[in-house]
Amino acid sequence: MSEMLRIIKSEDRITTLRLDGKLDGQTEGELVDAARAEFDSGARFLLLDFSGLQLITSAGLRALHTIFKIYTPDAEIIAWKKEHSGETYKSPYFKIAQPAPDIHYVLSISGFVNSLYIFPTLQEALDSFSS
């Protein structure tokens, strides 16, 4: 784990990775590797807690896209789009909680709010997995 990003795992019924620090070109691989390791260990739902995230760059956004692809089955997206033409698919498997306003702004202008559920609190995000 780098000094620039700390990833803290907590596991109840949903695997949660809390990020502290910066998600950029130097740390994106670390996050993707952690998320992939959880998936390979059997986790099918992932929540990223951004409460400690201070910065996200385009490389960090690339990491989010990669994690989306890991956790979201292509066949499900294709089937969903056939039934919901013109609508944007949001993954029920991968969600984000507690981004700071400036991080949320980056997620918004980059379009990630259209394909990811983003919650203001950790509890709201955790509760959304049972819906």
Residue range 27-62, pLDDT digits in tens: 999 999 999 999 999 999 999 999 999 999 999 999
What is the pLDDT of the chain when averaged over all its residues?
94
Task: Give the residue-averaged pLDDT of 15-31.
Answer: 97
- Band of pLDDT at residue 12, cut at 50, 70 and 90: confident
Task: Give the residue-averaged pLDDT of 13-38.
Answer: 96
Task: Catalogue the E-assigned strands of the chain.
Answer: 5-11, 15-23, 46-56, 94-97, 117-119
- Band of pLDDT at residue 19, cut at 50, 70 and 90: very high
Q: How far apart are CA 107 and CA 116, in angstroms?
A: 9
User: Which one is predicted more confidently, 10 or 70?
Assistant: 70
pTM of the predicted structure, to 2 decimals? 0.93
| Residue-level pLDDT at 126 | 95
- Band of pLDDT at residue 82, cut at 50, 70 and 90: very high
Burial class (CB in 10 A: 0-12, 13-18, 19+), 90: middle
Q: How far apart are CA 111 and CA 89, in angstroms?
A: 12
Identify the residue whose tokens are 């998936």: 39
Domains of the chain: 5-128 (3.30.750.24)
